[in-house]
Amino acid sequence: MLRDVITAGALLTVFQTARSPERTITAHIDAHVAEGLALLERVVNINSGTQNHAGVRQVGAIFRAAFDRLGFKTSWIDGSEWRRAGHLVAEHPGRGMRILLIGHLDTVFEPDSPFQKFERIDEKTAKGPGIIDMKGGDVIIVQALEALDAAGRLKDMNLTIVMTGDEEDPGRPLSKAREALVAAARGADVAIGFEDGPGDPRYAVTARRGTTGWELRVTGTAAQSSQIFRDDIGPGAIFEAARILNAFREKMSGEEHLTFNPGVILGGTSVDVNAVQARGSAFGKTNVVAEQAVVSGDLRTLSPAQLERAMTTMRQIAAAGMPHTQATITFDEGYPPLAPTDGNARLLALYDQASRDVGAGPVTAVSPDKAGAADVSFVAAEVKMILDGVGLMGHDDHTPGETADLSTLPSQTKRAAITLYRLATQPR
């Protein structure tokens, strides 16, 4: 097992005794920035919106070829079973610590989006769909491994890489869609995700809130509106839905790290909901008591225990209905939370020291309230040391203004490569 405590002194000893390989690694990264930028432009210019399965596979093929050249055994996991393109898996058995690296190939920009191409703004910045979320992180993985290979250090490393094809819009059932990722995590000592995180190189992610969808369905007794609240009619479905939502707010809004958001609400005599597209229609009249109401939203929590408490509270509130109404609340499969742990903090300490040693400055943990859900959370139950948000930095991801700070490509790659090198020297 990995040592329980990695001290600053131990890190300094590693740095001093391994100075020559580390210099070789960082020099290689500096010498190949242009190749990294060219690869980034190439993959950004291929549309890989989650539903564009051919595009996702095309981007996957480019990264697969890079891993093949480095001696990895690569495979494509077909995603038709969960209605997605699939995932790229690359394996490199070796001695020492088992390390899992996580990326994703898809973006939120489908082929009908006007935002399609890499655009250089100036020497240090560029725009493009998925440039930081997260094709830039995928490029960092490749360049870090190439530098380790150039220093003769990759050949003995025990690495697995999983690049999912549906991180932005995961297929269902979710358990099947993330089966390959969870399987790769079993037995791993460390997992590192290369999302852009907060977009600021001074921070990395050691905790993420999970997200779970929920749907509230309420029925009431239809009647002429002049009779609403009568003992044999009651308040109708819309008033009951409002009571439930307000009770959620009153009972849960003060809890740290917990958020719950009703994003769509429909009510009336009848409703028609398209859950996949998060839209629908409702019919009703102002002089008729509403018979139906549907609300859908999300729930974000920092730990499995917090998730269970929140779901229990929401179920209890929904069950305590007003007369002549009935409510049910259901919860979707979701992204599990990545709770903060001592192991995650130790891995951040190692990454922070590597960052300082390559001249990129200190790195601290970002608040989990600023970190959305991501694939790395699915391995939280399998891996004791996890770090995320160490990809290419920038801003405005998921928008047509998604922009990369290209000056962080070499520094982020150096941080990752030196961290991986030092992890490989640690006993299991």
pLDDT in tens, 7-43: 444 444 444 444 689 999 999 999 999 999 999 999 9
Residue range(s) of every CATH 3.40.630.10 domain in the chain: 8-208+338-425
What pLDDT was estimated at residue 192? 98
Strand pairing partners for 201? none
Fold that domain 211-331 belongs to in CATH: Alpha-Beta Plaits (3.30.70)
Q: How far apart are CA 262 and CA 371, in angstroms?
A: 20
Class for the domain spanning 8-208+338-425: alpha beta
**CB neighbour list of residue 91: distance below 8 Å, 6 or more residues apart:** 72, 73, 74, 159, 160, 161
What pLDDT was estimated at residue 19? 61
Distance, C-alpha 304 to centroid of its chain:
17
Determine contact, residues 227/281, Cβ cutoff 8 Å.
no
Pairing of strands 385-387, 190-193: parallel
Q: How far apart are CA 383 and CA 94, in angstroms?
A: 18
Cα torsion 341, 346, 347, 348 to 10°: value is 90
DSSP 151-201: TT-STT-EEEEEEES-SSS--SSHHHHTHHHHHHHTT-SEEEE---TTS-T
Pairing of strands 326-331, 210-219: antiparallel
Low-confidence stretches of the chain (pLDDT beneath 50) = 1-18
Residue range(s) of every CATH 3.30.70.360 domain in the chain: 211-331
Count the neighbouring beta carbons within 10 Å of the beta carbon of residue 409: 22
Determine contact, residues 122/201, Cβ cutoff 8 Å.
no
Q: How far apart are CA 359 and CA 23, in angstroms?
A: 12
Pairing of strands 158-164, 394-395: unpaired
User: Pick from 366, 314, 322: which is nearest to 344 by CA?
Assistant: 366
User: Pick from 295, 315, 311: which is nearest to 303 by CA?
Assistant: 311
User: Pick from 290, 234, 302: which is nearest to 266 by CA?
Assistant: 290
Q: How far apart are CA 381 and CA 311, in angstroms?
A: 20
What pLDDT was estimated at residue 18? 46
Q: How far apart are CA 373 and CA 365, in angstroms?
A: 16
Q: At what angle do helices 8-17 and 342-357 cross, to 10 degrees?
A: 40
With H, G, I as helix, E, B as strand and everything else as coil, classify residue 275.
coil
- The amino acid present at 11, given as its one-letter code, is L
Going along 16-92, which residue ranges are E strands? 73-78, 86-92
What pLDDT was estimated at residue 425? 85
